[in-house]
Amino acid sequence: MAQLFQSSIGRKVAMALSAFFLMVFLLQHFTINSLSVISPDTFNEVSHFMGTNPLVQFVLQPVLIFGVIFHFLMGFVLDIQNRRANGKSYVKYNGAANSKWVSRNMLFSGLVILGFMALHFVDFWFPEVNTKFIQGDWSGRIEGVEGYRYYEELHHRFVNPYRVGAYAIAFVFLALHLNHGFTSAFQSVGSTWGRKKVIQTISVIYAYLIPAGFIGIALFHHLTH
């Protein structure tokens, strides 16, 4: 098994496995966020559960962080290796003739998403860590708000139109990244053989609907202010 990840295909499989994990995470993140549009109360309940459940906080959250870092680092490692193998400097190279821009620029779209995650951490994750781990407040409540604080905080973040814009752009890049990454991950583990069409269809749905949904949620909160 350890041997597996020393081969080129093994590294691709590792990349794909981390991608699968991140895509599952993204799906559940999206599901919970969309509750904020449908039912703020349910959103609060679920958020509190996720924010305070020890299994989520002390097992899943570190795994998630590891997954994110692994995916990024592996992406860089593969890219460096590929550049080394490439050794080519065509005077004229017409990449557009045979492949999509996104597929050739996963590193770039990945970096944009990485930048977005910095913003996202400043917005949500650092305050959460501060509240819970530094101040030790696990109540999920703040003064002046009835019930849990989560919906109020979320709603409040999207007042600034620039932030909404930044989120929208980031999700466009996420869509691009997923547009190639979704099928690519399945291809890397060899499961596209014989079911390419199905996976491509699911890929289109997943890669466009989820980022569009996230943008929709951001816009909803911005406009309902």
Of 181 and 211, CB closest to another protein: 181
We find the least distance from the C-beta atom of residue 96 to another protein, in angstroms, to be 9
Footprint of another protein on 113-172 (CB under 8 A): none
We find the least distance from the C-beta atom of residue 197 to another protein, in angstroms, to be 11
Footprint of another protein on 162-201 (CB under 8 A): 180, 183-184, 187-194, 196
Using CB under 8 A, pick the residue from 38, 85, 134, 223 that binds another protein: 85
Place of tokens 């994110």: 68
Footprint of another protein on 94-113 (CB under 8 A): 94-95, 97-100, 103-104, 106
> Residue 165 is encoded by which pair of tokens?
């814009």
CA distances from 43 to 39, 148, 154, 159, 215 (A): 6, 10, 10, 19, 18
- Residue 142 half-sphere exposure, CB side, CA atoms within 13 Å? 11
Of 157 and 180, CB closest to another protein: 180
C-beta contacts of 179-183 below 8 A and 24+ residues apart: 179/100, 179/102, 179/203, 179/204, 179/207, 179/208, 180/100, 180/102, 180/103, 180/106, 181/19, 181/106, 181/207, 182/23, 182/206, 182/207
Given the rule CB under 8 A, which of 1-9, 23-31, 38-46, 108-116 is the region that contacts another protein? 1-9
Of 2 and 118, CB closest to another protein: 2
Q: How many residues bind another protein (CB under 8 A)?
A: 44
3-class secondary structure, 100:
coil
Residues near another protein (CB under 8 A) are 1, 3-4, 7-13, 78, 81-82, 84-95, 97-100, 103-104, 106, 180, 183-184, 187-194, 196
